[in-house]
Structure 1
């Protein structure tokens, strides 16, 4: 039988490699198709995650808009609220942040999530559309010097007479551009006491503190190396020094101080910081602070060439500011108390400074001679925003915005001039329409977003 050779092993015969080449091409093609399939799946998953993320972000925004649109009798929201938007669960953790509202919004859907912190302020309601509001009953006001008010005036009387003070020029009439409206009664207190009194209840802010220390130095090493699970410190003396910065979000760092607190010269910080002190707080020169709340049961002293942004300072005894700049939004508030044995001399003194925000002076008793508290703004200072005083306002500098006060006040040794408008300059038209007020007023103020920080 003749046997035919079907395979040759000669090295120059390539017919035996045909099947192997086909297999290689097949494997490569299969690998390519599998890789393409994996890429397509990954792209689809990525697109789906982006779509889910967008849906969650929109749900978070819808939740905050729902909160803003609702009418509420209380000035602040403190409860946890839950929402459902097309199978997306949104929870909000609401708390009072000084005199603003902070809301942490968390949205979850199919394993994806978004988280954002909103800060809310209040829209400008009536009567803050006026340039000047004087709430003292049966007002008899006198105008002197270089006084001019660009905007409307609301008072308990339309009677503004022209007076003279030695050394001052005579007021050019009319001294205002707008209208004067009178009401028989104007509330002397618009700010709800509990809105700021709760800030002085220090223990309620420090429920987790179990130990105390004699002295705490807050600087970059101590902040960076701290126990991240511990965001509250109880100390008898506090000192801030150097640069304390954080590029990432961190929970608020709270410090309860039994004694004095001092922020050293040239210190700068942007961390979310809250300081509650039983004693005085001193901020030395060339300091730069952002995202900070300071509450003192004593006095606060703020020295030259310091700058601040998104800060809120509160004091029961008085705040003195010299040669500083406060960027919007900022709140500076003195909350004085008058008792049977002492006068109220809790003053808010502004010299050679620029304030973009709110100056507030409150008192537990209004209209008594023993109440000597006042807001004083010297002629070298500029305020862009709102001044609210439940007692005296001594305004020498320029105000671009609104002044709401019980009395206007002027002093030229040895004479006090009560409810004299002397060298007052107010321009309501220069206040930005998007300027937001603090919350806590008796009026049902509509909330509006002051700022937002997306965490993830």
Structure 2
């Protein structure tokens, strides 16, 4: 009997074990259902955030489309703009970036946000559909050598005569494929001076946070270890050395230089860099620069085997480029000044180079003998884009695009040939259809997106 009772008691214990197992299974099932519920909620929230993000992105794109579709009388947008799309707030912070327009567009909605930086240029309009524009009044132009222009010509006269220069072949007529249109007057300075003069007003670029040094070596360690709150420094001498590459967005790093600026041999940089120099700037051989603006009150020297992309160089006294390649979009501009005591000899000299972008020469006074400034492109060079000169253009190399000039120029010792088209080769048909001009022209250029960088 005792044995039986013991057996019965054991049987009751097993029933208790079964009940505990059921409870455990119930708890596990409840936990699973709760976890599944949490996952479903998380997936729904994630999907909602993606949907919100997509809506914000579309709002940012709508804002920039609205901006570029509006007619504007000013070349650059200087004020910040605000938009509302449904419940999404979009702010557009507008900045003049060299001769392009930079717009930081930020959209916000229910704690989510998107930010994109747009770079805008101008779609070429009339008269840039022509291959050659000569703006000098009462033009009398002469053609010599192996000159051929594939495209139309706009000038103040249709009178183009054939001339001879010893040692050069006779031009085959017709020397152009297109039409010649004459107007009584053509703007000689369609690029507004206010667009580039501001670049030389260094004080206007200063930020509130700055630091000063006698000498600054800009290299990878110094850039990486910089105070991130300081985006501007003032130095007496600047040297850029080594490789400085960054994949992350950072605001433009501005350096104001009182003395000499030197970019050392084989230096390589893709950071958003702006250099404003009171003195000369020298770029040595094998340099690679991207996303850089250099403004010099003196001369800029650019040496062989260097390459550049998305750069803008401005100089008051002249730029010399030898054996380099500039990728689109690039702007190279000399902005000379003629005064009563000196001649203007601010030249833009291109030798053995490839330029994808725009060459610019401006002058405060045109049509005077004292103005000797010129753009000179040698026969080993190729320009794909626009050449714009408010004085002389000496073109020996090939141009795929448009030349807009006050005078054409050719020199064979001891004679200067003014408004002679000598060995000029221009092919307007080869200008890329997506090519955009810098802003600042008096013609009402339609804004177009040059590039976009999504930050988040």
Which range, TM-score by smaller chain?
Answer: over 0.9
CA distance in 2, matches of 1:6, 1:66: 90
Q: How big is each residue's C-alpha offset from its partner over 1:370-424, in whole Å with a ceiling of 9 and x where there is no partner? A: 0000000000000000000000000000000000000000000100000000000
Q: How big is each residue's C-alpha offset from its partner over 1:182-222, in whole Å with a ceiling of 9 and x where there is no partner? A: 00100000100010000000011113255432111100000
CA distance in 2, matches of 1:97, 1:220: 24
User: Could you tell which deviates more after superposition, 234-243 or 202-211?
Assistant: 202-211
CA distance in 1, matches of 2:9, 2:142: 121
CA distance in 2, matches of 1:175, 1:206: 51
Conserved? CA contact 1:375–1:392, under 8 Å: yes
2:242 maps to 1:227: no
Q: CA deviation at 1:443?
A: 1.1
In the alignment, structure 2 segments of 5+ residues that lack a partner are: none
1:23 matched residue in structure 2: 23
2:294 alignment partner, SS class: strand
CA distance in 2, matches of 1:410, 1:164: 13
Q: Structure 1-normalised TM-score? A: 0.98
Gap change, CA 1:377 and 1:7, over 3 Å in 2: farther
Q: CA deviation at 1:308?
A: 0.1
CA distance in 1, matches of 2:169, 2:78: 53
CA distance in 2, matches of 1:304, 1:14: 92
Gap change, CA 1:151 and 1:16, over 3 Å in 2: same
2:145 maps to 1:145: yes
Q: How big is each residue's C-alpha offset from its partner over 1:36-60, in whole Å with a ceiling of 9 and x where there is no partner? A: 1011001000000000000000000
Q: CA deviation at 1:180?
A: 0.5
CA distance in 2, matches of 1:201, 1:317: 16
Moved beyond 6 Å, runs of 4+: none
CA distance in 2, matches of 1:186, 1:7: 118
Conserved? CA contact 1:7–1:16, under 8 Å: no
Conserved? CA contact 2:210–2:232, under 8 Å: no
2:208 alignment partner, SS class: coil
2:452 maps to 1:455: no
CA distance in 1, matches of 2:309, 2:115: 24
1:277 matched residue in structure 2: 277
1:180 matched residue in structure 2: 180
CA distance in 1, matches of 2:16, 2:275: 85
How many residue pairs are counted as aligned between the two chains?
A: 453
Q: How big is each residue's C-alpha offset from its partner over 1:211-237, in whole Å with a ceiling of 9 and x where there is no partner? A: 432111100000000000001010010
1:348 matched residue in structure 2: 348
CA distance in 1, matches of 2:210, 2:130: 49
User: Could you tell which deviates more after superposition, 207-216 or 81-90?
Assistant: 207-216
1:125 matched residue in structure 2: 125
Gap change, CA 1:210 and 1:357, over 3 Å in 2: closer
CA distance in 2, matches of 1:46, 1:109: 15
Q: How big is each residue's C-alpha offset from its partner over 1:317-365, in whole Å with a ceiling of 9 and x where there is no partner? A: 0000000000000000000000000000000000000000000000000
CA distance in 1, matches of 2:25, 2:230: 62
Q: How big is each residue's C-alpha offset from its partner over 1:54-85, in whole Å with a ceiling of 9 and x where there is no partner? A: 00000000000111011111100111111000
Q: CA deviation at 1:31?
A: 1.1
CA distance in 2, matches of 1:426, 1:82: 44
CA distance in 2, matches of 1:12, 1:300: 99
2:215 matched residue in structure 1: 215
Conserved? CA contact 1:209–1:234, under 8 Å: no
How does 1:9-408 map onto structure 2 within 5 Å?
9-10=9-10, 14-208=14-208, 211-408=211-408
Q: CA deviation at 1:16?
A: 2.5
Gap change, CA 1:15 and 1:193, over 3 Å in 2: same
Q: CA deviation at 1:7?
A: 9.9
CA distance in 1, matches of 2:208, 2:243: 27
2:440 maps to 1:436: no
Q: CA deviation at 1:444?
A: 1.2
CA distance in 1, matches of 2:286, 2:68: 38
RMSD: 1.4
Q: Structure 2-normalised TM-score? A: 0.98
Q: CA deviation at 1:20?
A: 1.2
CA distance in 1, matches of 2:377, 2:279: 25
Gap change, CA 1:7 and 1:340, over 3 Å in 2: farther
CA distance in 1, matches of 2:290, 2:323: 17
1:9 alignment partner, SS class: helix
